[in-house]
Amino acid sequence: MFNQISSMLLDKTAAWTIRRGLRGAIAVLISCGVSLGGPAGIAGAPKKPPKKDKIKFEMVRSAAAENGNCLAGAHAEVKVISLGPVEEMTVEAEGLPPNTEFDFFVIQVPNAPFGLAWYQGDVETNDEGEAHQRFVGRFNIETFIVAQPPAGQPAPVVHNTPPFPDASANPATEPIHTYHLGLWFNSPQDAQAAGCPATTTRFNGDHTAGIQVLSTRNFPQLEGPLKQLVP
């Protein structure tokens, strides 16, 4: 009887020792980056960017304003916070002409010719040349514009006055990310009154805007600030 009990205890001790050894071996494998289902990481596989649900950055004087030798003190601070389904963007600008309207765009590249662009909304300064605006939309690493082929789908022509009338059909493009921001004078007259060139551009509701005032050209062309937000 004693021998039988001793044998059972030895068997249990051996099984416990084996299980403990297996747990230790698994822990070592995991610490080395290996999972039981295969390698935890494969060389060359794309890495997901780390999550980041809020960002803050500066907009600086545009190339057009700098070349026009105007608005030397113009700049803006932008904050973007992820709310889950959408983002909230706040823009605080200063050093701009007082009581003046501007047009705010999300754009592909910060300098002319700007690539694809989305008209986000308007910004208006107070008596001190300062402005505050809040936008709600999709302002993160997934922000993009797409025009599914084929091209040539009909589009309404609402503003048909030269030099920049509406197009009557669309081009085709696969998804293109738009991570930069730009701010334009609402009119060439406002730009001229501020000592800037009186060039007419497309960047307002009826395509009669002035030059770009602020942009995110302080970021690389393919690394616009909106790319930093990964909700």
Per-residue pLDDT of 77-96, as tens digits, reads 999 999 999 999 999 999 99
Q: Which of 77, 190, 87, 189 has its CA nearest to residue 137? A: 87
Q: What mean pLDDT is reported for the chain?
A: 87
Confidence of residue 22 (pLDDT cuts 50, 70, 90): very low
Confidence of residue 198 (pLDDT cuts 50, 70, 90): very high
Is 60 exceeded by the pLDDT of residue 67? yes
Q: Nearest-5° angle of CA 143, CA 148, CA 150?
A: 155
Report which residue type is found at 157: V
Q: Are 107 and 89 in contact (CB under 8 A)?
A: no
Residues in the chain: 231
Confidence of residue 5 (pLDDT cuts 50, 70, 90): very low
Is 70 exceeded by the pLDDT of residue 34? no
Q: Report the pLDDT value the prediction gives residue 52, as an integer from 0 to 100.
A: 85
d(CA 134, CA 150): 36
56 forms beta bridges with 79
Q: Are 130 and 94 in contact (CB under 8 A)?
A: yes
d(CA 189, CA 196): 9
- Which range (28-42, 83-97, 191-205) has the least confidence? 28-42
Confidence of residue 214 (pLDDT cuts 50, 70, 90): very high
Q: Specify the pTM.
A: 0.79
Is 50 exceeded by the pLDDT of residue 126? yes
Which secondary structure element, helix H or strand E, spans residue 117, and what is its range?
strand 117-124
- 210 contacts: CB under 8 Å, gap ≥ 6: 184, 185, 186, 187, 188, 189, 190, 191, 192, 196, 198, 199, 200, 201
Is 50 exceeded by the pLDDT of residue 106? yes
